[in-house]
A and B are shown apart, each in its own frame.
Chain A
């Protein structure tokens, strides 16, 4: 070998080394596949003076080779997939020279049966091939040239693997970013919904969040309210579903239904609006709503993670909507309670306060409601003739209806007071009015009487009320004041009410009460307080003042029922002064 040719070779190999070094630095730093492949082809083609070259990338999933990059005339199109069965043997080789090696391969480059394939591989992965056409001078590749391209192929393979890994990392990173964003959306909306009380607002925000997060254009939301399923919001929907279609959708068994041809035929609404999936939403284990979504505008299919997000967001919205109903119920309840409190005060005002007193009588009376408002009534009024009228009554039932009727009775009494008619006549009229004005299941047990304090006479009518007790001054057992007639409001006055008159003596005692006293139950609800206990209690305190007797009875009843009161208690005690 001459000096000059040695120098020539030396220069050449130094040039090749420099090329390899620079290329390797450039390629390893690059994370761009496009750049790597471009360089691989350009360097190879320039160096070997090859006019056609391409890079085939292996797709293991279907064992095809994609023309990833091609340069030169009449190359197959980039992006095209070739199905060439190379087999393991070929893939193990680093270089395949078509037409020279004993391997039968179809022409990969059209019209070229002498192309050379360089295996692009990393230590554990076959990536594909670098495919070179015949050299311009038709010469086969020299050993030297092959070695050079082999080296270049190894460097490029590493760079390709790097860029793939980088791409994959970027993809995963992006996916994680999306997940984080989805979680943020759920988190933010759960805060936002929490302070919203307007259902329409929640529904609107829910819709926009769905559309924005998933790039959805077609959307509908069906909500069950008061047992009825209604379409509450839509976006991009042309024609609303019929109630039959909503019904069918609601009765779908699966919570996630991807719309297929069969279902689309069954429910034309889905077909007309190109709805892709229907998701059922639950509140307290009950299906209360559903959302339907059309295709994603970016053409991507819904992944199971997307569906999970849609469902989570949907359930969050549903929960928030249900919460507004509960809130409304609570506000309504508070309003009712407020009204009841007002009613209670009005009713209190209907009872005499303070209790009228008279020099010849010792009078005590009290009324304790079990409910906010009640049906018990008592009154003590002075008649135009300066006598005292005592009344006590009990309307069947409790609460508002009883209270209304009680107020009605009170006003009748006050209107009748100045009119000069007998108690019996007045009772007839009151009964007729109550009978006409109230439903047939509403009655009033009623007792009223007029005491003439000077004469100490007591005229009374008992309309079905617990008989008041008359303890005569010198007798142990009381008499019951029964006479009168039927309970008020049960039927029209056919038999007139009868009046009875008794003559009181000083120290006589009258006790009027409602059944709240005698029917008070003990704590275990097995026994009533009863008339006997009442009697005994009165007898024990017989010598005390009216107020003391009243309080003794109340105390006894309370301790018997251990503070549990289920009915109104009304008590009136009158003692003729000595």
Chain B
């Protein structure tokens, strides 16, 4: 009995801290612009440890991030720790939980690899540090003219709250030893799937490649894709614009791998299925992923890339800093390093990652431009002119609606 009495006050104490603390944390932080001069930031960053929360599902990308860690340690004395996420939303939700608990400084996330709906959520909730991009010297080198998505993320203005890091464009990988003719459009893909039952699939939404596939279908089949650039107006509009998407998927799913009952967990998981011979296509966001995977022993030498004739979705991915980051200065320096010519060229190398640069070649010094010109192209990479037009991402509200509806229809 004595034991139980001892327990009670402690529980009460726990409970009261729980409640009072959560009550105190409800206020929203207003974003404050980064005003320090660059040398001052670099000085402040020295010796900091930056916890970089980044999707960790692809080993080549993880290896690149490890390389970044070594480089900023050498140049700036900053330690980068890669927190490998299964889904970027995990980090967003962590920052949210911290704010909910009233933790407005000393947060556990310093830098997030982010774009799209996660950025929109953080921006809407005032969870981001900055605006900061103007404070970074390398930001001026970004190609705003030809790569407008470096400033507008899924139709949402970045407002200097995230620094562009790389350019992604949806493409398909196949094994030319098994498949001779590849489909050139979304309707043709359906015909192909009917003719080759069980040989196509896509990563399960909310994996970002899976949702990108849904958006690709949506844009290509929607009666008027212009709506997609605006936020969702009402249910009736979603119903009308998305109807062709659901009709398409209803027709497609019976012909998919496992009869469309299960889907691979992620893009890399589907790439593994392609290598195993379980499916014939994999989806990718990086035009040189196939070359890179061949170089890394993850795909056969005969792997190749194809895109759709009418174009595929392209976007920019960024890094952002949470409002309560413990090492904001260090995160700024890392963000700047990531945008620099050295890091960008290394990232574009298909033997490393194969992610396209956000920089404008014309703005670079000749020596830096040469870094890019000297990059190997890779056997399976399409030339830039063969990559086809780039389709714009729909507003994030569309993605949220489509994702939920997909869950409702197919995940039951």
Chains A and B form a bound pair: no
**What is A's interface to B at a CB cutoff of 8 Å?**
none
B interface residues, Cβ below 8 angstroms from A: none
